[in-house]
């Protein structure tokens, strides 16, 4: 897992008990400082690293290219097979 080295087991247990995300993003208020019975961190804005956004765009772009290549390849094969079938049908009907 991608955890910070400063995280200890008590913090991990607290995150599990409160159901806070560990990997998705960082909170604006550090949860290690807030006691469990406090409501201060509930309205904290989550900050996501920009690398996650760039990674999502890169994966989307790669999948888009993959699907477009697949669709064009299948379409060209279908056109080619249709042409071959048409030529074969002409030759068979001529004989």
What pLDDT shows up at residue 85? 96
How much is the pLDDT for 76? 97
For the chain, 95 residues long, the average pLDDT of each consecutive 10-residue run is 54 57 53 66 72 92 97 97 95 82
pTM over 0.75: no
CA 37 and chain centroid, separation = 35
Supply the pLDDT for residue 1: 47
41: Cβ contacts below 8 Å, ≥ 6 apart: 27, 29, 31, 34
């Amino acid at each position: 897992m991608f955890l910070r080295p400063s995280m200890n087991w008590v913090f991990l247990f607290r995150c599990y008990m409160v159901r806070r995300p560990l990997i998705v993003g960082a909170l604006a208020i550090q949860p290690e400082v807030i006691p469990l019975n406090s409501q201060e961190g509930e309205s904290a804005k989550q900050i996501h690293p920009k690398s996650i956004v760039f990674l999502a765009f890169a994966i989307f772009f790669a999948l888009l290219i993959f699907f477009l290549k697949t669709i064009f390849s299948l379409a060209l094969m279908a056109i080619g097979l249709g042409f071959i079938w048409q030529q074969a049908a002409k030759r068979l009907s001529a004989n």
